[in-house]
C-alpha cells in the first residue's frame, strides 16, 4: 500500500507550551480557552461552521516520540494496547478532540475546553452533531475503573520528546 500524506490546514494555539501538564481530554479542560488558526487558503471552508456549538478537531501529535503498541496510559498503572487508549504513541499519531466553538473571526476559531499543545498541526475540522456522534456505550474497557480520575489527570510528559 502507498504512503498516505496529509498537509496541515492550520495550527492550534493554546496556553500549553509542552505536553507535560496538559489536560488529557477536553472534558478535563473545561473552560480553558484556545484558538485554531486556519490557513487563509482554507478559510472559505469555515462557511456555516459558526452554527455549531462544538467541533471535532483532528490533528497530528507532532511531539510524540515514537510508536509503542503497548503503552501505560495516564490513568492506569498497567500497560494496554495502543488501540485501547487515546495517547499519542501510535502508528499514525493522529489525535481528536471535541471542543466548544465560541466564535469565528475571519480564519480564527475561538474555542474552549482545549487539551492540545500549542503549535499542534491541524489536519481537519468536522462539526460535532450529537445525533451522529453520541452513542450509548455498554462498556468502556479498562477505563471503567479509572474514568473518575479524568478531572485531575494531566499529561506527565511520558510520550513527548
Q: With 60 as the cut, is the pLDDT of residue 35 above it? A: yes
15, part of any domain: yes
User: What Rg value do the Cα atoms of the chain yield, rounded?
Assistant: 16
Averaged pLDDT, 30-58: 97
Domain of residue 21 covers 10-62+91-130
Question: What per-residue confidence (pLDDT) applies to 103?
Answer: 98
Assess if residue 3 is contained within a domain: no
Residue 22: inside a domain: yes
What percent of the chain has pLDDT above 90?
Answer: 61
Q: What does the pLDDT read at residue 66?
A: 84
In a domain, residue 156? The reply is no
Phi (first) and psi of residue 37, to 5 degrees: -95, 115
Residue burial 127-152, b: 16+ Cβ < 10 Å; e: rest: ebeeeeeeeeeeeeeebeebeeeeee
**CATH of residue 126:** 2.40.30.70
Q: Which three cell numbers stand for residue 121?
A: 498541526
pLDDT for 59-76, tens place per residue?
Answer: 999 998 889 899 887 778
**Number of compact structural domains in the chain:** 1
pTM of the model: 0.88
Q: What is the pLDDT of residues 125-134, one digit of tens each?
A: 999 999 998 8
Residue 68 is assigned to a structural domain of this protein: no
- Segment 6-18, tens digit of pLDDT: 999 999 999 999 9
Amino acid at each position: 500500500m502507498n504512503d498516505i500524506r496529509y498537509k496541515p490546514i492550520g495550527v492550534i494555539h493554546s496556553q500549553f507550551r509542552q505536553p507535560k501538564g496538559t489536560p488529557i481530554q477536553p472534558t478535563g479542560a473545561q473552560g480553558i480557552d484556545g484558538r485554531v488558526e486556519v490557513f487563509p487558503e482554507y478559510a472559505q471552508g469555515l462557511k456555516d461552521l459558526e452554527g455549531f456549538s462544538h467541533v471535532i478537531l483532528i490533528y497530528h501529535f507532532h511531539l510524540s516520540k515514537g510508536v509503542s503498541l503497548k503503552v501505560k496510559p495516564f490513568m492506569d498503572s498497567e500497560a494496554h494496547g495502543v488501540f485501547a487508549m487515546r495517547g499519542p504513541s501510535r502508528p499514525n499519531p493522529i489525535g481528536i478532540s471535541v471542543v466548544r466553538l465560541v466564535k469565528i473571526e475571519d480564519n480564527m476559531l475561538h474555542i474552549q475546553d482545549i487539551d492540545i499543545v500549542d503549535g499542534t498541526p491541524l489536519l481537519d475540522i468536522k462539526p460535532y452533531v450529537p445525533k451522529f456522534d453520541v452513542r450509548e456505550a455498554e462498556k468502556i474497557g479498562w477505563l471503567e475503573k479509572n474514568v473518575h480520575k479524568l478531572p485531575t489527570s494531566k499529561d506527565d510528559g511520558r510520550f513527548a520528546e
